[in-house]
Amino acid sequence: MIKDLPKNIVKDIAIAVALEKESVESKIWYVYLINLKNVPIENILITSKGYGEKDGVQVKTSTLRHMIPIVDGNSYKLIEPIDEQTFGLNNEYWLSYYIGKDIYDKKYIFLPESIVEMNFTKLPVINKVGVMIL
């Protein structure tokens, strides 16, 4: 039965962590959904969680769920703020969305210590610096 389901491949959809503001005391980071397609995506559901090991202890954050009605083509939406203290964990975002009547889903994982300046790039559409998974 599962072999009969269509293999809807996610393309041109990214999750990005962007540096919003930086001061002497702190940095403010946000996670965005970027639609690089020319068509809108609809009924978007995103779950986010962090997990991994910190100081030799297994750590797990709460699972958050986000619903976004629509993201137009070549645009973006804010998913959530992210605390810099979680950058040492796996930060997982599971995305599901529709284009017409077809459903798509993909898991994006920012590995521990991957959100670092060395990996920064200019994020398309948002025009900020950050780390992106396409």
In a domain, 68, yes or no: yes
pLDDT of residue 54: 86
Please give the Cα distance from 17 to 112 (Å, whole number): 13
Query: Given pLDDT bands bounded at 50, 70 and 90, which one contains residue 5?
Result: low
Chain center to CA of 23:
24
Residue 80 identity (one-letter amino acid): E
pLDDT in tens, 29-69: 999 999 999 999 999 999 999 999 988 899 999 999 999 99
Residue 17 maps to which CATH number?
2.60.40
Question: Is 1 inside a domain boundary?
Answer: no
Domain around 44: 11-133
Q: What phi and psi, each to the nearest 5 degrees, are found at residue 18?
A: -120, 140
Band the pLDDT of 92: cuts 50, 70, 90.
Answer: very high
Mean per-residue pLDDT over the chain, rounded: 93
- What is the tally of structural domains in the chain? 1
Report the distance separating Cα 64 and Cα 96, nearest Å.
Answer: 14
Q: Which residues contact 127 (CB under 8 A, 6 or more apart)?
A: none
pTM of the model: 0.92
* The amino acid at 109: I
